[in-house]
Structures are given as structure tokens and as C-alpha cells.
């Protein structure tokens, strides 16, 4: 009916999205629903050290597809063979470019009666050759993004079918607490929880297992056997308390969910916080207050320990990147105006290393000055917050040194001057029934 009305059936569809979102699975599902032959190959399978082998494989693939048409040809990780030409050091006629040229020829040589459609998947559409993306080749791009809360719940139900769940496990609650997780992440979460249940000789998977699995994935496995001196524990407690107290006193910052000085992965402690919603659209003030909170650990060390440690290195990296993005990418600096100085493109050996910056050395100096000024202003604001709340910060430190882990409710009680009660559990999922999302972490 499409050809009768004069429509041209798309020759190619490009599935675009982050790793783990189900692009390959979607391609297989399309083939199954369509009831046609399905040929699958990875982009890296085309490329060999011998000149001409890749181009020959492309010809063979499409010749086979035409023989068994109607058929779907699926090329996974097409960026391995479809990168922009001229991006390498091997000149314009290396093996990868010959393979790409042959792919372009094959896709351009289709007729309407061949019944062959090409599906391809990539998480890097920005590095693909423009000739590959033009109409007539990959006519359409389908974005396969991270699932929303409803999608996460449905994905969890699928992966939970072969697992024995305790009555306490609420998949809707888990879905609300895992914003930003892909389908692969959710599958891994349930698998890690099942492994923990098996290790503990439990016949079913409990919410406690889900909680520990989530913390293991986001911050690493707990290392309770690690021997730490009282001095080390106090440094970590002061650092994490600095983050938490700063977060509490910033109007746009998300609330603290949990604080711990139990070592996990590469970190000695962590402070988790809960975004109020699933929005990824940050304002200038929200980004600035994130910088203030990231500096909380370093400021607390300087104020209350009289020295600083390397534990804040990751915080400083993240704060600097945020400041750089605000100044040079998002046009949030009054002195430089609404101008972006970062192209955001991928660096290719042989191309970007041969080019110069698109702005002058004077502008580069101004960018550096504005980044430094933004960080300094955030540092001073954080210093004032922690100084004004020093008594509460010390109470948080004392609690952490005694209990090791503090819930968001216990932390809030200290900040509001109320009596701190004993928590029956320190689950990351507590309080998600109101629809809050995604525990994130600031680590030392």
C-alpha cells in the first residue's frame, strides 16, 4: 500500500541511544514481529588488517540479503566502520574507509523491490560520516533512551520472572529509586541482589538484598574488614558531614538520603542524595549550588581538621567540570556573554590534534579567570555555611563515628535540633513511596 500511494519505503533505520538501553534487542524484536529473515553482524567484523577484506564482506552480506529477501540486515556498533572519513592518520584510502565506501555504495544501490532494510545501532551518532546519515541511506534515526519510571518497573518485572522474591520486595519502589538506570543496569541490579541472597543462604530475594545491591552498584562493595585508624575515620566523617550540611542549606539542592563512613569500592565514605524529580534540565543556580556542595568535603577538612587530604580530588574534578561547562559551554557567564566556546565533539587523532582553538588566547585567559572566580565564590559560600552550622556538623560527625551510617531522617533531625532516633533500617529505598527518584552520591 505504501508503493501504491507513491511512498518510498525507508532503506535504513539507525537506532541511537546510550549503552544498555536495548537497541540490539529492539532490532531482534522487529525481525521477529516482521517474520522475515534476519542477518546480524557487528561493525568490527568488517574491519581486517588486509586491504579489501572489509569491503568484500560488505558485498557478500548484501548479496546474501538480496537472495533471501525480504530480509533485515542489522549492523551492531556501526560506528566501528562508519566513522567520519579523514579522521585517522592513515590517509584517505585506509581499510576502514574502503569498507565504509562499499557500505555507502550497497545502501545507495537498492531498488524498491529488493525488500531489504538495514537496521544499525550506535551510541555515538556524532562520529558517523554524514554521507551515511543522508536520506536514501539511513532515512530515520530512532532514539532509544533510558526508561522512565514506568518503563523501569516493567523492565524489572521481566527480569524478576525467574527470581524468587520476598513479599517485601516492591518493584515499583525500586523503579522510583533507579532513575537513569538502563535496562542492562536494572538486570544487573536484580542479578546482584540474587547473588547476595544466595551468599546469605536465603531462599528468596529480599528488599535488604536490593538495597545492598543498589549501593554496591552505585558506590562499590562494602569493605568492612578494612582496618582504619580513629584518625582516618574522623577525617572521612568530617568530609562527608561537610557535604551533607552544605547540601541541607542550599535551597535548590536535593535532600540527603544516607551518609556512611563504611568504605565502598575506591571511596572511604559516601553521601547519597535524592533528586526531587526525574528532570535533567539544570538551571544556572542549580549547577552553582552543586559546585558548593561538592566543595563541602574539602572546606570541612580545612575548617575543622586544619589540613586537607586527597579525598576531595574527585569532588574537585567534578566541581571544576561544572564550572567550565557553565562558563564555556552554556553561556552562563556575564563577562563572556551567551557564547559557547566548547564544540563538544570527539577528539580524533589526526584531525583535532592538527586544529587550533576557535577562540583567542585572550578569551582563553578570561575563561580560566571566570572558572577560578566561580569556584572561589562557591568555596567562600560553602565556608560560611559550614561555619554557621559547625555545632550541627560536629553532631553529625560524632554520630557517624559511633554508628558508621546515618539515614536521611536522622540527619534531618540533627539539622532541625530534634532528638535522633534509632533507625530500624538504613535502606536506600525508604521514603520512595512519594515518587522521589534516583539516589546519587558524593564520594570521598
Residue ranges in the chain modelled with pLDDT below 50? 89-92, 345-355, 424-425, 433-438
> Is residue 99 within 8 Å of 58, Cβ to Cβ?
yes
Active site residue ranges = 240
Residue 229 — φ and ψ, nearest 5°?
-80, 165
Residue with cell 579522521: 87
Give the position of cell 518510498.
8
pLDDT at 186: 94
Query: In this structure, are strands 12-16 and 116-122 parallel, antiparallel, or unpaired?
Result: parallel
Question: Alpha carbon 219 to chain centroid distance?
Answer: 14
For residue 212, the Cα-to-chain-centroid distance in whole angstroms is 20
Residue 338, SS3?
coil
Task: Determine the Cα–Cα distance for residues 393 and 257; give it in Å rounded to an integer.
Answer: 16
CA distance 414 to 420: 7
Distances in Å between the Cα of 378 and the Cα atoms of 98, 290, 300, 318, 373 are: 52, 9, 14, 13, 9
Residue 430, pLDDT score: 55
Domains of the chain: 2-143 (3.40.50.300), 149-219 (1.10.8.60), 230-346+354-416 (1.20.58.760)
- Which residues touch 133 (CB under 8 Å, ≥6 apart)? 14, 125, 141
Q: Which helix (H) or strand (E) holds 1?
A: none
Give pLDDT tens digits for 174-208.
Answer: 888 887 889 999 999 999 999 999 999 999 999 98
| Tens of pLDDT, residues 202-256 | 999 999 899 889 888 887 777 766 677 888 899 999 999 999 999 999 998 888 8
**Burial group, residue 401, by CB count within 10 angstroms (0-12, 13-18, 19+):** middle
Helix, strand, coil distribution of the chain in percent, nearest 5: 50, 10, 40
pLDDT of residue 278: 63
Strands 256-260 and 71-76: unpaired
pTM: 0.73
pLDDT of res. 352: 46
Amino acid at each position: 500500500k505504501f508503493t501504491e500511494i507513491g511512498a518510498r519505503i525507508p532503506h535504513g533505520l539507525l537506532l541511537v541511544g546510550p549503552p544498555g538501553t536495548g537497541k540490539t534487542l529492539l532490532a531482534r524484536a522487529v525481525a521477529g514481529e516482521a517474520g522475515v529473515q534476519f542477518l546480524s553482524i557487528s561493525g568490527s567484523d568488517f574491519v581486517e588488517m588486509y586491504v579489501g577484506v572489509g569491503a568484500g564482506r560488505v558485498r557478500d552480506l548484501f548479496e546474501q540479503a538480496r537472495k533471501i529477501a525480504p530480509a533485515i540486515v542489522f549492523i551492531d556498533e556501526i560506528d566501528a566502520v562508519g566513522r567520519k572519513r579523514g579522521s585517522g592518520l592513515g590517509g584517505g584510502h585506509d581499510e576502514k574507509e574502503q569498507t565504509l565506501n562499499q557500505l555507502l555504495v550497497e545502501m545507495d544501490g537498492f531498488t524498491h523491490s529488493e525488500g531489504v532494510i538495514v537496521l544499525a545501532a550506535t551510541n555515538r551518532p556524532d562520529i558517523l560520516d554524514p554521507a551515511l546519515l543522508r536520506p536514501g541511506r539511513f532515512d530515520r534515526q530512532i532514539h532509544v533512551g533510558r526508561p522512565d519510571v514506568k518503563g523501569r518497573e516493567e523492565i524489572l518485572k521481566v527480569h524478576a520472572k525467574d527470581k524468587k522474591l520476598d513479599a517485601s520486595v516492591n518493584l515499583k519502589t525500586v523503579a522510583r529509586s533507579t532513575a537513569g538506570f538502563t535496562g542492562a543496569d536494572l538486570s544487573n541490579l536484580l542479578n546482584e541482589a540474587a547473588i547476595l541472597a544466595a551468599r546469605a543462604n536465603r531462599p528468596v530475594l529480599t528488599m535488604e538484598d536490593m538495597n545492598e545491591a543498589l549501593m554496591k552498584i552505585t558506590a562499590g562493595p562494602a569493605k568492612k574488614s578494612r582496618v582504619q585508624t580513629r584518625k582516618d575515620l574522623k577525617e572521612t566523617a568530617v568530609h562527608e558531614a561537610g557535604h551533607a550540611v552544605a547540601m541541607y542549606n542550599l535551597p535548590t539542592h536535593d535532600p540527603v538520603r544516607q551518609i556512611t563512613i563504611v568504605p565502598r569500592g575506591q571511596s572511604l565514605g559516601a553521601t547519597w542524595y535524592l533528586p526531587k524529580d526525574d528532570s535533567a534540565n539544570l538551571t544556572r543556580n542549580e549547577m552553582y549550588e552543586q559546585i558548593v556542595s561538592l566543595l563541602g568535603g574539602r572546606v570541612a577538612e580545612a575548617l575543622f581538621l586544619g589540613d586537607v587530604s586527597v579525598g576531595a580530588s574527585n569532588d574537585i574534578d567534578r566541581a571544576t567540570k561544572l564550572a567550565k561547562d557553565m562558563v564555556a559551554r552554556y553561556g552562563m557567564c556575564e563577562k563572556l556573554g551567551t557564547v559557547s566556546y566548547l564544540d563538544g565533539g570527539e577528539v580524533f587523532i589526526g584531525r583535532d590534534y592538527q586544529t587550533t582553538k576557535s577562540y583567542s588566547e585572550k578569551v582563553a585567559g578570561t575563561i580560566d579567570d571566570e572558572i577560578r572566580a566561580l569556584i572561589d565564590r562557591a568555596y567562600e559560600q560553602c565556608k560560611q555555611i559550614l561555619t554557621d552550622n559547625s555545632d550541627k556538623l560536629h553532631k553529625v560527625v560524632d554520630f557517624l563515628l559511633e554508628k558508621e551510617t546515618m539515614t536521611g531522617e536522622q540527619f534531618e533531625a540533627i539539622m532541625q535540633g530534634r532528638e535522633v532516633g534509632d533507625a530500624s533500617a538504613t535502606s536506600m529505598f525508604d521514603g520512595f513511596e512519594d515518587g522521589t527518584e534516583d539516589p546519587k552520591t558524593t564520594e570521598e
